[in-house]
Amino acid sequence: MPHHAVVIEAQKEAGIIHALALVARELGLAPKGNPDVVVFRYGLFSVEDARSLEQRASEAPFAGTTRAFIVSADRIYHEAQNALLKLLEEPTRGTHLFFIVPTVGNLLPTVRSRVEIVRIRDHSDAVRTKPLGTDAREFIGGGKREREKIVTALTGGTDDEDRRRKRDEAIELINGIERAAHDRASRAGRTKPLIELMRELETLRGYLYDRSSPVKLMLEHLSVVTPSDLL
């Protein structure tokens, strides 16, 4: 029997397939056409989504004594993770939760301590296979002025939706630089500067998952630590 709350580090659809297999094998629930097996797909998992999940999880199963919720999310804001803590610690009897995320590095320690973590593929392999975005390529190859223009374009915003979109683009910029760093490491070896850079990128991405973090300050720091010879 799996832990009542499992986090699967995987690409979205591969993680859902893996979770459905666990539900069938370990919980004995038929995945297809079963109202007690619910799959949610999110780009951003918000506080409101966390509260909705908690409400759904408090309800009794339609049949039998067991139900499973599978939640796939590209991003889970820290506020939403905090809103999940009670559910992760004290789930309704018979309720099992599966979360699919691209990387567990963006989860709060308080969340990681309450879940079982499963990795179904090496994250660095997934990072390397995704094409490098235009912003990342221009940021790496650009001088100080070009980098400043990109930082300016990804900060500020006219409303909450615009600021959220720019924050998403800033995270994708970091992801692109990380892909370039992995490619460079595969060619030149995992040198100390590259290892330090990848750790720095992981830290910055974690900060950007917190909506209260100053995006401009994070990106200005990114401009300083990103070498121009990654490509």
Instruction: Give the tens place of pLDDT for each residue, 176-185.
Output: 898 888 888 8
The length of the chain is 231
- Rounded mean pLDDT of 119-144? 69
Q: Which is more confident, 123 or 58? A: 58
**Model pLDDT for residues 73-94, shown as the tens digit of each residue:** 988 988 999 999 999 988 888 9
- Rounded mean pLDDT of 3-8? 91
- Single out the residue of 126, 129, 125, 144 nearest to residue 226, CA to CA: 144
Spatial neighbors of 148 by CB under 8 A, at least 6 apart, are: 223
- Report whether 85 contacts 111 (CB < 8 A): yes
According to the model, what pLDDT value does residue 1 have?
55
- Rounded mean pLDDT of 187-206? 84
According to the model, what pLDDT value does residue 36 have?
95
Q: What is the mean pLDDT of the chain?
A: 86
- Report whether 117 contacts 171 (CB < 8 A): no
**Model pLDDT for residues 18-77, shown as the tens digit of each residue:** 999 999 999 999 988 899 999 999 988 999 999 999 999 999 899 889 999 999 998 898
Q: Is the pLDDT of residue 187 over 90?
A: no
- Single out the residue of 21, 129, 8 nearest to residue 73, CA to CA: 8
Q: What is the DSSP letter of 19?
A: H
Q: What is the DSSP letter of 146?
A: H
- Report whether 89 contacts 114 (CB < 8 A): yes
Global pTM value: 0.63
